[in-house]
């Protein structure tokens, strides 16, 4: 333990010397009660349908990352889910899901893949999921322990209306046949979701809310019938679109109290991936811009509470910057500032799961599309998953507005975990921790701060970019580069132990997770 403390102190000293300036701040954690709660599987990621010839702004960033062609034998892919997360929720879907048909017995004719077509919505023809590929995917899901949410095609049977909308009842035939096939094979499905980005003004096209209510109830009826008598009935999720208060308000009111388990919405709050990297980074590093992103989380929480429904909120897809993201921003260290802030912020409004677009594919994958090597956000997601419990605590930071602070009860461990994000370009922030109302750091109270018991230590995980370059795709944990091994193994994530009496030193443009086992919060008891 003494050696770990010494190593931690030496590393921290090196970190502090990087900072040209020093600032002091304080975070006050209210441990009396939880202000919100997440689901046990809060961190979630997506797999998509885009073929290799999906290109944005002249760049084709999807490679073989589609559900139809992903190399399921890759060792990093398996370990990144199984060895690291155990379990990870994977939501299968995306723009092309409403053009996917399922190659089940009810569908005569060939099961043809997507083909490019400029005249078609999203630039591709209809594509088919062959059942042998679905079998292979499920063998992989079972091996990896992933929990699967499948996004169904919600446009089957529709007719075009004026104004770019689609009308008429959803034809459940192919979807019901696919769900029956899946259940009959004994494949475990965590949830079935209806449609992708068809709510409100829609993307590509839209479906009116009254019609969507009917179709969501049709999905619920189908799932109930197929899984009748099953001990593990899948969740029913919808609508998987962009939050629109009027549309969502009516949708929630007409599916309450229990026609739906989960109300999903999508987040692309940084704009288009085409923007210059400096513009995107300016938004990510601007605390006012980040503060302004709370609206959909807060408003959806309000609608669900007011309606008196049993349904909960998920972010079903979030890539930050749409049209596949932006290379060396959404797949680099800098994106963890946005991503972890989103996880912290959404959790405060009772979001139960947050699905990152994508696990692999595009310029915003948690894994590199060609090498499968984890990008920085993968490790950020993994640390959240391992350290942040389901109970959310109020954390108020006083000091620079460039520091963001979030607190949760620790996950399957005593005490609390703090997440501190320092956006400042050259100032180290020395953060002291105070408690409120019965929360205490294991010792005597001294004027609002808390004395730790003698010799108490806390565990710190400092995340920095290689070479100090926030556009680096290599993340350092306590000064050590993180990379998958030659055998596909995910590296260990060990903390440094630090004397609990010292302030937490958060280096410029860095992120720190701090597990404080001696911080006794009544809410976490």
The residues carrying an active-site annotation are: 197, 317
Report the sign of the C-alpha dihedral through residues 358, 361, 366, 372, in that order.
Answer: positive
What is the three-class DSSP state of 503?
Answer: coil
CA distances for 44 relative to 81, 86, 178, 331, 382, angstroms: 11, 12, 24, 17, 10
Q: If you search the block for the tokens 């399957």, which residue do you land on?
A: 412
Q: What is the DSSP string of 96-160?
A: GGGGEEEESTT--S------B-TTSGGGB--EEEEHHHHHHHHHHHHHHT-EEEEEE---TT-EE
Specify the DSSP class assigned to residue 48.
B
* Phi, psi (degrees; rounded to nearest 5) at 268: -135, 70
As a whole number of Å, the CA-based R_g of the chain is 23
- C-alpha to C-alpha distance for 400 and 384, rounded to whole angstroms: 24
Q: Which residues pair with 117 in a beta bridge?
A: none
Region of 476 please: left (phi>0), alpha (psi -120 to 50) or beta: beta
Q: How many CB atoms lie within 10 A of CB 96?
A: 25
Which contacts of 227-231 are long-range, i.e. CB under 8 A and separated by 24 or more positions?
Answer: 227/183, 230/183
């Amino acid at each position: 333990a003494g050696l770990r403390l010494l190593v931690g102190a030496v590393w921290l000293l090196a970190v502090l010397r990087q900072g040209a300036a020093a600032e002091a701040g304080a975070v006050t954690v209210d441990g009396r009660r939880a202000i919100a709660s997440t689901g046990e599987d809060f961190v979630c990621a997506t797999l998509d349908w885009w073929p290799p010839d999906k290109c944005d702004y002249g760049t084709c960033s999807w490679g073989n990352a589609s559900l139809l062609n992903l190399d399921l034998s890759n060792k990093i892919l398996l370990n990144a889910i199984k060895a690291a997360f155990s379990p990870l929720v994977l939501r299968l879907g995306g723009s092309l899901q409403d053009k996917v048909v399922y190659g089940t017995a009810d569908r005569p004719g060939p099961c043809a893949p997507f083909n490019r077509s400029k005249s078609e919505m999203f630039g591709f023809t209809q594509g088919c999921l062959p059942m042998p590929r679905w079998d292979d995917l499920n063998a992989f899901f079972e091996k990896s322990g992933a929990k699967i949410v499948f996004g169904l095609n919600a446009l089957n049977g529709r007719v075009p209306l004026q104004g770019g909308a689609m009308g008429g009842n959803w034809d459940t035939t192919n979807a019901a046949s696919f769900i029956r096939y899946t259940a009959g094979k004994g494949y475990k499905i965590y949830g079935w979701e209806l449609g992708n980005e068809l709510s409100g003004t829609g993307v590509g096209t839209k479906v009116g809310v009254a019609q969507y209510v009917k179709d969501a109830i049709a999905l619920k009826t189908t799932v109930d019938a197929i899984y009748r008598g099953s001990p593990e009935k899948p969740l029913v999720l919808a609508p998987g679109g962009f939050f629109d208060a009027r549309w969502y308000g009516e949708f929630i009111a007409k599916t309450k109290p229990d026609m739906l388990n989960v109300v999903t919405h999508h987040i692309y709050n940084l704009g288009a991936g085409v923007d210059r990297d400096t513009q995107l980074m300016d938004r990510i590093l601007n605390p006012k811009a980040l503060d302004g992103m709370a609206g959909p989380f807060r408003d959806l929480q309000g609608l669900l509470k007011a309606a008196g429904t049993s349904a909960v909120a998920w972010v079903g897809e979030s890539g930050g910057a749409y049209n596949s993201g932006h290379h060396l921003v959404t797949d680099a260290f800098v994106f963890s500032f946005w991503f972890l802030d989103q996880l912290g912020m959404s959790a405060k409004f009772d979001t139960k799961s947050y699905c990152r677009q994508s696990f692999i594919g595009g310029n915003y994958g948690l894994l590199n599309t060609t090498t499968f090597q984890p990008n920085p956000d993968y490790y950020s997601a993994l640390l959240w998953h391992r350290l942040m419990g389901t109970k959310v605590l109020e954390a108020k930071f006083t000091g620079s507005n460039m520091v963001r602070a979030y607190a949760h009860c620790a996950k399957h461990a005593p005490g609390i975990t703090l997440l501190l994000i320092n956006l400042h370009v050259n100032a180290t922030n020395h953060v002291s921790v105070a408690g409120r109302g019965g929360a205490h750091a294991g010792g005597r109270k001294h004027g609002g701060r808390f004395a730790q018991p003698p010799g108490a230590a806390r565990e710190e995980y400092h995340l920095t970019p290689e070479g100090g370059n926030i556009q680096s795709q290599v993340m350092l944990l306590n000064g050590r580069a993180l990379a998958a091994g030659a055998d596909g193994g995910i590296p260990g994530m060990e903390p440094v132990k630090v004397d609990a009496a010292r302030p937490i030193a958060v280096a410029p443009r860095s992120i720190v997770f701090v597990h404080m086992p001696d911080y006794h919060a009544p809410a976490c008891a």
